[in-house]
Chains A and B, each alone.
Chain A
Amino acid sequence: MTVLVYTENREGKFKKATFELLSYAEELAKNINAEVVALSIGDVSPDELNKLGNYGAKKVVTVKNDKLALLDNKLYTAAIAEVVKKENAKIVILADNLSGRALAPRLSAKLKAGLVSGVVAVPNSYDPFVIKKKVFTGKAFANVKINSDIKVLTLSQNSFGIKEASGNAPQIEAYNVELAGESNAKLVSVDMITGKLLLTDAEIVVSGGRGMKGPENWTMIEELAELLGAATACSRPVSDEGWRPHGEHVGQTGKIIAPTLYIACGISGAIQHVGGISSSKVIVAINKDPDAPIFEVADYGVVGDFQKILPQFTQLIKDVKNS
């Protein structure tokens, strides 16, 4: 019996989210006397594959297939399902991110395995299998029972953390999957964001709202973000006004993020915005209105004019970093 983790790599390097998934899987596996098996699709070096052992993987199944060059949900699902069967996996864990959200539902339907997406903790109980997830965009939690023998979970980012395990090198097994049919999609073009930290990957996010007055004031946000190695984000009115690109919109209908530190400048904290950031570990809010709702979710707040606060804040952090 195993717990199978679907890993993701970008250009041959595993993402941090993958290590969190393994840490989480290891915790579950202990409780059901199972072993953690990682599935890696595509080209990853043996050194990189060995890293998975540091987070609890006893075995890594690698799959290479030309048909998997492009992320085709149907073909990927078929490949994962085959490995699930081969490894007798009872729990399958994916990240609650773009590909996890694309693949987990298909896998669930294919295996008739109950899916709980966006789980935020280890199961409350294993028999019956009950697990907690966020609902109503972070306004509440639901404890959900899975009735099927196989369970599929997607884990909300940063909800468990990365925990190093014993660290024996995992057994690596190359496995051939037979995939019927071809993809119905052909790649026309790709537009990759380069040289910029992705919002969903960032540990620290610096974000601005309408209180920033205008796009010209974003240099302050960018300077602070660069100093902290942070990504930049914004609230919905800002992207609607065209001050910032839509890709930076964080909130209920934009991106939902869970960084370690979220710095909100000139964001009043409308309920829809809070829905997108409530899982952040620490929230710092800068706002001139002492009664702005953002202070209800913030851990630290500065009340005052961002034009006076941000340059100071940035300078003080520079001093700390240099000391």
Chain B
Amino acid sequence: MKILVCISDVPDTTTKIKFAGNKELDKAGIQWIINPWDELSLTRAIELKEAHPDKIENITVINVGTTASEPTIRKALAMGADNAIRVDSEPKEAYFVAAQLAEVIKSKQFDIVFTGLDSADYNGSTVGGMLAELLDMTSVSAVSGINIEDGKVIVSREIDGGTQKLDVQTPFIAVVQKGIAIDPRIPAMRGIMMARTKPLEVVAPANIDNLTEIVEYEMPQPKGKCRKFTEENVNELVDVLHKEAKLI
């Protein structure tokens, strides 16, 4: 089996977001990381390969991005991916990214494709589903677990009100959420050393029209001041919640 993990690089989740003139993200001082969901997907893919070396022959990571995203890609290789593909373009919007990925994946065979449920930047949670439709593949969303049992791929997904276990035929796209792996893998020295020698293929982007574009950013309105109470006047808070806010 061959696994593909789609990765994007996003500002570190603790980053304070600023914009340059409301039109674009102010990239100064931002530390870029692998999108947390993508990192967990990759971690799970590596765990599966370690547990089933006979079944999983290769893990590829793919990214749509400029050379600026190469440190992120190299980190994925250091973690344990075998090779990488970078589609050489700014990731303009979700459909654009999905269509670029589809172009590359079409010509290669992957059995399981992982994408993150969400991205910590544009919070689209959209690339995986779009990619599946463009490739006419099965997609399973909100995947919180994946295992290989008796040669079958068993996927757990969250549904409204619970979880389901599914036996899914490959090839398919898993849109992954929290729970797939506990912590992202920390790259080992050996992995870091080998990352530079692993193949990183750069492909030219296809010509794709954007379906959406960001016109302008806004910052949220600052919240009004917090009204503070103490251990001694909790009763006043309850009063306010009951009479003014009418919440209880």
Q: Which residues of A contact B (CB under 8 A)?
A: 8, 10, 15, 70-74, 77, 97-99, 101-110, 112-118, 130, 132-148, 183-193, 198, 204, 228, 246, 249, 252-254, 260-261, 270-272, 275, 278, 282, 284-285, 290, 295-305, 308-309, 312-313, 316-317, 320-321
Contact = CB atoms under 8 A, between A and B. Distances in A.
B162 A190 contact: yes
Given A302-B237, A313-B237, A114 B126 contact: no
Contacts, number: 275
A296 B168 CA distance: 46
Interface stretch (B48-56, B192-200, B221-229): B221-229
Nearest to A204: B247
A295 B134 CA distance: 46
Contacts of B219: 140-141
A300 B158 contact: no
B89 interface: no
7 nearest A-B pairs in the assembled complex, by CB-CB distance:
A105-B129, A102-B141, A192-B162, A114-B211, A109-B133, A304-B231, A105-B126
A146 B212 contact: yes
B161 A108 contact: no
Interface in B206-248: 209-220, 223-224, 226-231, 234-235, 237-238, 240-242, 245, 247-248
Interface string B143-185: 0000000000011001111111111110010010011000000
B129 A186 contact: no
Contact of A252 (B120, B166, B169, B240): B120
B248 A102 contact: no
Nearest to B131: A109
A115 B210 CA distance: 11
Interface of A is mostly: mixed
Interface residues of B, number: 82
Interface stretch (B12-20, B69-77, B80-88): B12-20
Contacts of A73: 129, 132, 138-141
Contacts of A191: 162-165
Interface in B28-81: 36-37
Contacts of B240: 300
Given A104-B126, A198-B161, A186 B133 contact: no
Contacts of A228: 248
A186 B167 contact: yes
B57 to A, nearest CB: 22
Contacts of B241: 261, 282, 284, 300
Contacts of B94: 105, 115
B121 interface: yes
Given A74-B133, A104-B126, A140-B218, 9 more contacts: A106-B132, A115-B126, A142-B122, A187-B164, A187-B166, A188-B167, A189-B164, A190-B165, A192-B162
Q: Which of A10, A249, A285, A312 has the most CB of B within 10 A?
A: A312
B226 A298 contact: yes
A106 B137 CA distance: 10
Given A10-B161, A148-B211, A302 B234 contact: yes
A188 B165 contact: yes
A64 B216 CA distance: 42
B140 A147 contact: no
Contact of A144 (B166, B179, B213, B224): B213
